[in-house]
Amino acid sequence: MNNTWLEKNTFHFSDFKDLRNLVEVKEKKNLTISLCLPTLNEEKTIAKEIIIMKSELMTRYPLLDEIVVVDSGSTDKTEEIAREYGADVYRASDVLPEMQNFQGKGENLWKALYITKGNIIVYLDADIKNIHHRFVYALVGPLLLSDRIKYAKAFYDRPIAIGTNIIRATGGGRVTELVIRPLFSLYFPELTQILQPLSGEYAGYREIFERIPFPIGYGIETSMILDIYEKWGLDVIAQVDLEKRVHRNQDTKALGRMSFVILKTFLNRIEKLGLIEKKKEMYNEMIQYKLEKNSYKTDIRQVVEQERPPMIDILEYRNKFLPERKASK
């Protein structure tokens, strides 16, 4: 396989450390940049993310124009803390309220398109324990400095936080290596050059995000790569090495449920591309087992993966952002 893309479109965050230059390019191109943090019970990490991004990328270097939190209905103090530290906070259920409400990360990202104003949108997970402003400027850098690149994705080493102080230096990325990379190897070997397709940190031009559908749950990162690749090709995508991301650990059963959704999303996508033909509909139940009082009991989770259409097809969005243009077909 030819690894030309890997060599040409892979960067290190230090390639974009001249923040003054990034601001100058942004202003010269007359662009605005929005940061979106999708949240659900992130009171332990949300304040630090907002503080760092505001101080470094709004006050010190005016790279960001707004920080928006889109919350799934937190039961802790996430929303209160985010407002206190200066973010614009929205409940996902309050955005486009006339539409049926769903809950999930993809839902938050999709609705962020309606409430943000930027030409470029940066999406960051809100549970990053080692947050640094490179998580934003390094993703924006390729978009500003190249007229070819329209979407940039993070990759990194993923040590797993265990308890409060101990860090295991290996691990993480298990769903990528056990699910996505084998699937890409089977159907899209060129996409295996994307080192961490499931990373939750990426940035892109609004004109890209508004024209692709958004699954509401764990399938969003997979579908986003496949749809951008199918519509615009691999050359518009870049990846940036952020070196390290410390995150919350999830147990194997939780990762199994995540994998279930991602597999469904992938199979639906390749069916639409004509690569497979399903003879029957897939089931919506993830069946697992748990031990209770010395006997095994089924632990069944209903997982219906809803999908939002391209935002450009929503009338309210076109009226707000594109009054002179009709929906693309």
Of all residues in the chain, the percent with pLDDT exceeding 90 is 81
Q: What's the half-sphere exposure (Cβ side, CA atoms, 13 Å) at 195?
A: 22
80 in any annotated domain? yes
DSSP 3-state of 237: strand
256 in any annotated domain? no
CATH number at residue 209: 3.90.550.10
Q: Which region among 1-15, 28-42, 307-321 has the lowest average model confidence (pLDDT)? A: 1-15
299 in any annotated domain? no
User: What is the β-pairing status of strands 33-39 and 66-71?
Assistant: parallel
The pLDDT value recorded for residue 247 is 61
279 in any annotated domain? no
pLDDT level of residue 256 (50, 70, 90 thresholds) = very high
The pLDDT value recorded for residue 275 is 92
Q: Which residue has the higher pLDDT, 246 or 216?
A: 216
* Average pLDDT of the segment spanning 243-267: 87
Residue 106: pLDDT above 70?
A: yes
144 in any annotated domain? yes
Domain count, the chain: 1
Q: Is the pTM of this model over 0.75?
A: yes
11 in any annotated domain? yes
268 in any annotated domain? no
Task: Please return the burial class of 158, using the count of CB atoms within 10 Å of its CB with bins 0-12, 13-18 and 19+.
Answer: middle
Residue 325: pLDDT above 60?
A: no
Q: Which residue has the higher pLDDT, 326 or 306?
A: 306
297/139 Cα distance (integer angstroms): 45
* Average pLDDT of the segment spanning 20-39: 98
Per the structure, the complete domain to which residue 158 belongs is given by: 4-168+187-247+309-321
173 in any annotated domain? no
